[in-house]
Amino acid sequence: MLEKTYLADANKRASGPYNFADYLKQYQFSIEKPAEFWAEQAQALAWYKPWDTVLSGDLVQANVRWFEGALLNVCFNCVDRHLVNSANETAIIWQGNEFEQVKYFTYAQLHEQICRLANVLLSKGISKGDRVCIYLPMIPEAIISMLACARIGAVHTVVFAGFSAESLQSRIQDTQCKLVITADEAVRGNKSVPLKLNVDLALKNCSSVTTVLVIAKMGAEINGQHEWEVDYRAAIADADINCPCVVMAAEDPLFILYTSGSTGKPKGVLHTTAGYLLYTTVTFKQVFDYRLNEIYWCTADVGWITGHSYMVYGPLANRATILIYEGIPTYPDVSRCWQIIDQHKVNIFYTAPTLIRMLMRSGNEPVQQTKRSSLRLLGTVGEPINPEVWEWYYQVVGAEHCPVIDTWWQTETGGFMLTAFAEVTSLKPGYAGLPFFGVKPALVDNAGKLLMGENSGNLVMAQSWPGQMRTVYGDHQRYIDTYLTQFPGYYYTGDGALRDAQGFFCITGRVDDVINTAGHRIGTAEIESALVSNSQMAEAAVVGYNHPLKGQGICAFVIPKQGVIVDEALKETLLKEVVQHIGAIAKPDIIYFVNNLPKTRSGKIMRRILRKIVEGGAIKDLGDLSTLAEPDIIKELLALR
């Protein structure tokens, strides 16, 4: 790895922490006196009633609670409170697939749309605590829907529009949603995705849903094909423009977002009101040093946590102007992102390494034909960024004057955990950086022994932070088993990391059976169960492998049942199976048909061997093979390449 460091220029900083010494001092305070630190930070929000206790409970008992006794509303904080001075400032710039498709929403207009929709939700019988599913493309209504739920205390669960009808169904069933908000179609590049059709399929087995609000994006008539169907636009046109915010308790649920883990079905990660909002608000402001009136563009989809924390909640609570883009980065050509930056004078661009790698492959010319002079800061999230890619982002995209802020965090953490701070900490390509305030990372070995100093191991957190998930929806034991049991007293991240002599962290990737492909998290178990749901398959093992563009590619080893003819058509069938059960993002890049899998004598699949096989490792690289039940399998596997 290149060991280059870019020094911070504290003169460029607009708000605290003002320099590195300031960071160190505040960090120390935040770790030693978390309750005092977070009580001070809580001034960033508007509260109806202050808290009685800042922090109670702990990681051992899995009962952490922040700001108990306090009352507030998330929508009020993200919208209403800005109306006093900034009603006519732009809240959202929506850029559609085509250049001329642009819409602006001021904070006042956003407020009106939210109130109208909140009234529609109320009229459909939705009230505090009810779950609402949002299955929408990147259109302003996605944000309006989230905030309308927050306004009346309904708990939203956003499902990424790329997920299949089956995935949508299992999420609706798990949360027992009463209402779904969707659109007739999503448009991405030259493709259209039939969202409404997927909802119809999903609802064949979801008795909890009583209303589906459909946005007629493509102009199709919503004429109540089913009795639960309602035309979104017609309904909000008739709705009242006033709707009071429901007063919420600090620990009332705000949303549920599904994410993949090592085993079983995706988990419904539950975030609550006060801690989550405070954490996203403060991290957004301090890490990016956000300045009022700056245009901020986060390329994440609203269906992922980044689209929640750093497209909607954190930025809007800071009264930011956010840009959202419905299309794809390569439409009509690979310079589209940079053109959008010029067109809308974007100051902060926050994206994933997979996109940077893809655009980097097209060379410098498509970037350099644009100006990008408005850019002040570049951010990255979702997967490790290779130092060469970091350098290209810094030098070519940012023309060497924008700090590249690598932010490490997870759906479960709610917000940034390990990160650079703009113009405060020095930048080390490939390193996510230092802990945010109140975050106490540690490294442990597999036996749970704490590793000190320059070292590498399993990344854990030794202390709670306000943005921490509170439970797995409907299954608190699963929350305890997944995150808090492996290393008692610590929150377990599932990531490996190394720490250098200065305390900077470099994330080395997942150490569990989760694949991070093109910035998306998929569990190997989910893909395996989709593959074996095909009646011709006996068994499947899926592993991630190094992929030049996607970070990790997906490779499946499948054992067909006796007598099944193995051909290209079978491969196609299996790919379709994965698309149907999960969605196109989970499609394997490689499928190998095999007669056997490497297993231990107790029957556990030895995935590390499979990973090495796909990555082209020699026999000597395969590690200890002595526990293999049938050593001959290695010959068969090596012959695959």
Catalog residues that contact ligand WTA under the rule CB under 6 A. Answer: 259, 304-306, 381-384, 406-411, 432, 493-495, 507, 510, 516, 521
Q: Among residues 45 and 461, whose Cβ is nearest to ligand WTA?
A: 461
Burial of 562 (0-12, 13-18, 19+ CB in 10 A): exposed
Q: Closest Cα to residue 305, out of 295, 292, 314?
A: 314
Q: How far is the CB of 269 from ligand WTA (least distance, A)?
A: 8
Q: Among residues 273 and 309, whose Cβ is nearest to ligand WTA?
A: 309
Q: How far is the CB of 520 from ligand WTA (least distance, A)?
A: 7
Q: Among residues 435 and 494, whose Cβ is nearest to ligand WTA?
A: 494
Q: How far is the CB of 106 from ligand WTA (least distance, A)?
A: 29
Phi first, then psi: give them for residue 476, nearest 5 degrees: -65, -30
Q: Among residues 105 and 393, whose Cβ is nearest to ligand WTA?
A: 393
Cα–Cα dist 146/156, whole Å: 6
Asked if omega into 332 is within 30° of 0 (cis), the reply is yes
Give, for 572, the enclosing helix (H) or strand (E).
helix 568-581
Cα–Cα dist 495/176, whole Å: 31
Q: Are 433 and 497 in contact (CB under 8 A)?
A: no
Q: Closest Cα to residue 209, out of 173, 235, 182, 184?
A: 173
Cα–Cα dist 355/385, whole Å: 11
The angle formed by the CA atoms of residues 630, 634 and 636, to the nearest 5 degrees, is 105
Q: Closest Cα to residue 275, out of 58, 465, 128?
A: 465
Q: Among residues 316 and 381, whose Cβ is nearest to ligand WTA?
A: 381
Which amino acid, one-letter code, is at 132?
V
Q: How far is the CB of 404 from ligand WTA (least distance, A)?
A: 11
Cα–Cα dist 528/517, whole Å: 16
Q: How far is the CB of 518 from ligand WTA (least distance, A)?
A: 11
* Bridging pattern class, strands 267-272 and 455-461: unpaired
Q: How far is the CB of 565 from ligand WTA (least distance, A)?
A: 38
Q: Among residues 329 and 494, whose Cβ is nearest to ligand WTA?
A: 494
Please name the residue that has the structure tokens 């600090």: 250
Q: How far is the CB of 169 from ligand WTA (least distance, A)?
A: 22
DSSP sequence for 395-411: IIISTT-S-EEEEE--G
List of residues 6+ apart from 560 with CB closer than 8 A:
536, 537, 538, 566, 570, 593
Please name the residue that has the structure tokens 């030049």: 548
Q: How far is the CB of 407 from ligand WTA (least distance, A)?
A: 5
Q: How far is the CB of 64 from ligand WTA (least distance, A)?
A: 19
Q: Among residues 306 and 471, whose Cβ is nearest to ligand WTA?
A: 306
Q: How far is the CB of 277 from ligand WTA (least distance, A)?
A: 17
Q: Among residues 229 and 495, whose Cβ is nearest to ligand WTA?
A: 495
Q: Are 462 and 442 in contact (CB under 8 A)?
A: yes
Give the number of C-alpha atoms closer than 13 A to the C-alpha of residue 156, restricted to the C-beta side.
30
Cα–Cα dist 638/342, whole Å: 50
Q: Among residues 130 and 301, whose Cβ is nearest to ligand WTA?
A: 301
Q: Among residues 179 and 389, whose Cβ is nearest to ligand WTA?
A: 389
Q: How far is the CB of 495 from ligand WTA (least distance, A)?
A: 5
Residue whose Cβ sits closest to ligand WTA? 411
Helices 195-202 & 165-175 angle (0-180, nearest 10):
50
CA 640 to chain centre: 35
Q: How far is the CB of 309 from ligand WTA (least distance, A)?
A: 8
* Rg value, the chain, Cα: 24
Q: How far is the CB of 75 from ligand WTA (least distance, A)?
A: 23
Burial of 60 (0-12, 13-18, 19+ CB in 10 A): exposed
Q: Among residues 134 and 305, whose Cβ is nearest to ligand WTA?
A: 305
- C-alpha distances (whole Å) from 264 to each of 71, 477, 516 are 36, 14, 17
* Bridging pattern class, strands 71-72 and 102-106: unpaired
Q: How far is the CB of 280 from ligand WTA (least distance, A)?
A: 12
Q: Among residues 93 and 542, whose Cβ is nearest to ligand WTA?
A: 542
Which amino acid, one-letter code, is at 56?
S
Q: How far is the CB of 392 from ligand WTA (least distance, A)?
A: 16
Phi first, then psi: give them for residue 217, nearest 5 degrees: -65, -45
Q: Among residues 335 and 552, whose Cβ is nearest to ligand WTA?
A: 552
Strands (E), 57-165: 65-68, 71-72, 90-95, 102-106, 131-135, 155-158
CA 328 to chain centre: 18
Q: Among residues 515 and 530, whose Cβ is nearest to ligand WTA?
A: 515
SS3 of 269, please?
Answer: strand
Q: Among residues 305 and 389, whose Cβ is nearest to ligand WTA?
A: 305
